[in-house]
Structure 1
Amino acid sequence: MNVVVDTAPAQRREDAGSGAGLRGLLWLTWRQHRWTLVATLVLAGVLAGWMTYLSMELTDLWHQCHETFCPENSPQGRRLGGSEPLSLTLAALERLVQYMPLLVGLFIGVPVLAREHEQRTLLLAWSQDVSPTRWLWTRLGLLGLFVATVTAVVGVVSDHLQRTTALVGPVTLFDYLPFLNTGMLPVAISLAWFAVGVALGGAIRRTLPAVFAVIAGFIGLTYLVQWRYPTLMEPLSAHRPIGGPNLDVLRGNALVVDGGMVDYGIDGPSGAFTASGRELTGVELQRLCQPDNGTGETLACFARNHLEQHLLYQPGSRIPDFHLIVASGYLGLTALALLAVWWIVRRIDLSAG
């Protein structure tokens, strides 16, 4: 007797299971991370709103200063001084945006695998109708999309604030914090530390040690980038008269890599050069032009003697290139971390939880 088996119901159950698995992962991701995601949205909203308000305030100062730099001795310039509330607030917001990727790595990245190990729920999660690989990439995709969206919004507002600040004060967008908080870097760095957090959480399998590892890695890489980024491309050189009309090389958000300082009264090099190209010592410079205690005579003496500074600098036109180089490095780190996560998940022994 021939038996006819209808495979359609089984196929329908498989299709339903596939859809149910995706919906289940979406619900599980929200269930496990909801408070972190909500807190991230609130913090991002506060940051974006605060920076938008300050951008409007700085734009108003720019108009008051006739759409140019605000002189330091003007009321507007004094508001941008180092100890004024506006300046302190801007500095605090810069730091918050800088450390946003670290918070992403700690509170969104690390718990993805570390919490599953600590609660011993991997066996339960992966014994259902979803494979470990699908479980991994679906959750990483959902959380990564959330991180990219939120940090992109904050990054756009931060970019506008930094550019507005550069309009009214002696700030260059090539300085480390403005450079780090503009362009594509907030998104690229946040995705990198999200992936690194997941990888370290999976490798260490404990939340607290993984948190300390992420913090150590973030601090170390941050200082490495700060040290190396000014010379990612060969700097340009320029001669700049001291005490006379300044050249335009330092305008347009340029970054001084070396030079630009004049030292008085020391036996070593002063940083000041004669017209023939000989560098004066600090003692020779003091003997040539006596300090004037702020009367302006010293600068006039520099101009009369045609003294110059030799500078190595990066022009502001290179900022997009530098952004691309640094972002590519962080995205490369993201790819390596995701590859490590995939390898870690494939080697997890479910019998050990």
Structure 2
Amino acid sequence: MIWLNWRQFRLQAIAGAAGLVLIAAYLLYLGMDIRDAHDAYRSRCGDAAACAQAAVQFQGAYRNTLLFLAAGLQLIAVVIGVFWGAPLIARELELGTHRLVWNQSVTRGRWLIGRMAFVGLAAMVLTGLAALLLTWAASPYDEVAADRFGTIEFGARNIAPIGYALLSFALGTTVGLLVRRTLPAMAVTGALFLVVQFAVPNLVRPHLMPSEKTSLPMTAQTVNQARNLGSITGAPVIGGLQVPGAPDAWISETSPLRTRDGRTLSASKFNACLDTPAKTGAGGTFGDTAVCLSALDLHVDVEYQPSGRYWSFQLAETGLYLLACALLTAVSLRRVRRA
């Protein structure tokens, strides 16, 4: 079985190994470059103002690159599901080569488990090593940016990518067994897993554990620390806040700007501060707008996850993927025995 699996999978394995070598070479280079820049950033932290400016420059230099790499790592899981999982059984059924194996002494269930275990292990090794290298390369940046819970970053660090890859592979195998044709199975697998990649971070992850709640007063300093004000709808919202004392906490939900009595700030007052604030000469990201909003005695209610729960979320989400993988494998076993 092992020799047969290798013979059927060797081209994909060689392509995956070659890709991993290229990824490793680039991430090793990038990791050393980030560490040199991190040392330069720390050398400029003689005072708070200079340190803050150096941190902004350090993050700006690598933010887009690391986001692109994180998205690329999650794309590897899609590729595994589409090109490794979906054709694994669908091609056998489409070409009729499964009959040769099923007429031997090997049972259908053992044949399926052997195929899935061999390719699934390869998927784990490929994705796990790529995730380990990216986690290592980005660790100085993650320390400064304090955004390990980011929608894209979380799924591309540590052990979560391994769960993603296994789920994608099991999904592709199951779809291929049900559809029984290679190209349609590949298309369905890609579409379904893209839905999973959207749904888990946005709809499932925030509810894996009960969140903490607090209220943040909107002082001028707090407003200037935010990343954005307003939205395309003109709503009085603020984004990219930090919980005092816990800058790397994950804020999962932020209310609109609210007045002292708990009512949402009117759009007219919010737009007045955005468009025509009183000229005070204030500095900071939002300057006079921040001063104008702070004078209105505003606050926002936030729900957040403390940074200490990061590994609990990694384990919980990975466990969820493994459970889904086990269920899909059970469906595949039931199906192949009836095929």
Tell me the TM-score normalised to structure 2 length.
0.80
Q: Judging changes above 3 Å, is the alpha-carbon distance between structure 1 residues 66 and 211 closer, same or farther for their aligned structure 2 residues?
A: same
Q: Judging changes above 3 Å, is the alpha-carbon distance between structure 1 residues 301 and 96 closer, same or farther for their aligned structure 2 residues?
A: same
Q: Judging changes above 3 Å, is the alpha-carbon distance between structure 1 residues 287 and 77 closer, same or farther for their aligned structure 2 residues?
A: closer
- Figure out how many residues of one structure are paired with residues of the other and give that number: 309
Q: 1:190 aligns with which of 157, 161, 165?
A: 165
Report the secondary structure of 1:280's partner residue: coil
Residue 233 of structure 1 is matched in structure 2 by 209
What does 1:264-343 align with in structure 2 at a 5 Å threshold?
271-274=257-260, 277=262, 279-285=264-270, 290-291=276-277, 295=283, 296-303=287-294, 306-343=297-334
Same amino acid, percent of matched pairs: 26
Residue 128 of structure 2 is matched in structure 1 by 152
The answer to which of 34-43 and 132-141 deviates more is: 132-141
Residue 256 of structure 1 is matched in structure 2 by 251
Whether the 8 Å CA contact 2:87–2:186 is kept in 1: the answer is no
Q: Judging changes above 3 Å, is the alpha-carbon distance between structure 1 residues 203 and 285 closer, same or farther for their aligned structure 2 residues?
A: closer
Q: 1:213 aligns with which of 188, 191, 203?
A: 188
Partners of 2:325 and 2:288 in 1: how far apart? 55
Partner AA of 1:332 in structure 2 = L
RMSD, aligned α-carbons = 2.9
Report the secondary structure of 2:265's partner residue: strand
Partner AA of 1:280 in structure 2 = L
Structure 1's unaligned 5+ residue stretches are 1-24, 261-269, 349-353
Tell me the TM-score normalised to structure 1 length.
0.77
Moved over 4 A (4+): 67-74, 244-248, 276-279, 285-290, 292-295, 301-306
State the Cα distance separating 1:79 from its structure 2 match.
6.2
Residue 25 of structure 2 is matched in structure 1 by 49
Residue 337 of structure 2 is matched in structure 1 by 346
Partner AA of 1:333 in structure 2 = A
Partners of 1:344 and 1:205 in 2: how far apart? 11
State the Cα distance separating 1:173 from its structure 2 match.
0.8
Whether the 8 Å CA contact 1:185–1:326 is kept in 2: the answer is yes
1:198-241 per-position Cα deviation (integer Å, ceiling 9, x unaligned): 11111111100100110111011122112212233232222223
Partner AA of 1:62 in structure 2 = H
Partner AA of 2:317 in structure 1 = V
The answer to which of 310-319 and 34-43 deviates more is: 310-319
Structure 2's unaligned 5+ residue stretches are 223-241
Partners of 2:189 and 2:126 in 1: how far apart? 21
Partners of 2:218 and 2:22 in 1: how far apart? 45
State the Cα distance separating 1:298 from its structure 2 match.
3.3
Partner AA of 2:269 in structure 1 = E
State the Cα distance separating 1:146 from its structure 2 match.
1.7
Residue 70 of structure 2 is matched in structure 1 by 94
Partners of 1:50 and 1:137 in 2: how far apart? 35
Which structure has the bigger radius of gyration? Answer: 1
